[in-house]
Structure 1
Amino acid sequence: MQSKEILKNHVSKMVSLTEDEFDHFFSHFKHQTFKKAQTLISAGDPVECEYFVLSGCLKTFFINDELKMYILQFAMPSWWASDYNALYNKSKATVSLDCITDAEVLVLTNDDREKICNDIHKAEHFFRWRTNKGYVALQKRLLSVMNSNVKQRYDELMTQYPELYNIVPKQLIAAYLGVSRETLSRLHP
């Protein structure tokens, strides 16, 4: 499926745009490909865009002062990724974004998103819906971290995204769960 169709299917789950409206919407995106391990955003960078994943898998992560990695998000096809704090507040990135696999994305700048929203009211509704959906997912994840043990969090992740175990290296799943690789091995022998 072509990138335009993938995005159109994604957007149409929430709003119905005419062909002309969608063509205008799509014209603001830039297609890019990245190789495995390639960095899209590094901590400290200015952030001016977000990424819609067409294929592959990205990860958003933070490395603390003790050099321990914490993964905030895996971004699979039809998911969005960026450092949203930096993007919306026009500040430097506090998290990094890179490719777990080769990836194909559509890139949308903050300015272009605002232009789309000014031109097409339904697009503004779409972006608000998408942001709200992301907030709900983040809240669920935070509550899971606070209220569930590691085994429960692992089972929840594998139930929700069974394909992750075949795509994402085990040490990254461990970093997402906040455990060691050894602990993860005991959960999934």
Structure 2
Amino acid sequence: MEKLQRHIEHITPIDEIEFESIKTHFTPRRVRKGQYLVSEGDEAKHEYFVLSGIYKVFYVDEQGKEYILQFAQENWWMSDYPAFFKRKPATMYIECLVEGEVLCLTLDSREKLSADFHKMEHFFRVKLTNGYVALQLRIKLLLSGTPQQRYEEFARLYPNLMQQIPKKLIAEFLGVSRETLSRLYQ
């Protein structure tokens, strides 16, 4: 829970008494490599704060083609957000690529934290805003960036993932072939 406390304090100061109450809303969960936290059709009950491990958030189209929306690692948040916030069945998957641990937060707990602690409402607003900005930048890069630009941005955002996940997944995330990635990676 110490990582969570430091993560929150990076945005807003909280004292020990506040954090004692805040942490009761989070449930720790160990995750094995290959395990799914969310699968298409599931109820997306949680938003996850990553303590350790590497995860991919993706969806699969009708033809079975996989599209990776996000890799999540330590101090990142992840969920199938449309399903989580709208309480609808999931349309995405979250798979653990490297064994780790997450903290699970329900929407009801998130709402209660925001109602009880203005600081947490501020924290979640800042995190959501930053996520929205990152999403728009990623879409812009996918639409108009060159493969080289997409690769450089990936290397900037995920410097330690280059050696930890298969190149095939990196190529999928960048929207390029494995061969193109090999040329960029040299």
Task: Tell me how far 1:117 sits from its aligned partner.
Answer: 1.2
Number of aligned residues: 186
Question: For 2:178 and 2:60, how far apart are their aligned partners in 1?
Answer: 16
What runs of 5+ residues in structure 1 fail to find an aligned partner?
none
Task: Tell me how far 1:182 sits from its aligned partner.
Answer: 2.1
What runs of 5+ residues in structure 2 fail to find an aligned partner?
none
Aligned to 1:45: 42
Given the alignment, which residue of 67, 77, 80 partners 2:77? 80
Of residues 152-161 and 22-31 in structure 1, the stretch that sits farther from structure 2 once superposed is: 152-161
Runs of 4+ in 1 over 4 A off after TM superposition: none
Aligned-residue sequence identity (percent) comes to 46
- Which amino acid in the other structure matches residue 151 of structure 2? Y
- Which amino acid in the other structure matches residue 33 of structure 1? R
TM-score by length of 2: 0.97
* Structure 2 residue 106 is the aligned partner of structure 1 residue 123: no
Question: For 1:20 and 1:136, how far apart are their aligned partners in 2?
Answer: 32
Given the alignment, which residue of 97, 100, 115 partners 1:100? 97
Question: For 1:160 and 1:87, how far apart are their aligned partners in 2?
Answer: 25
Question: For 1:131 and 1:154, how far apart are their aligned partners in 2?
Answer: 25
Partner SS state of residue 88, structure 2: coil
Aligned-residue CA RMSD (Å): 1.0
- Which amino acid in the other structure matches residue 156 of structure 1? E
Aligned to 1:163: 160
* Structure 2 residue 60 is the aligned partner of structure 1 residue 60: no
Deviations 1:122-169, CA, capped at 9 Å, x for gaps: 111111111001001101111111121112101121133211101111
Deviations 1:47-105, CA, capped at 9 Å, x for gaps: 11111000111110011122111100000100000000001111011111010110111
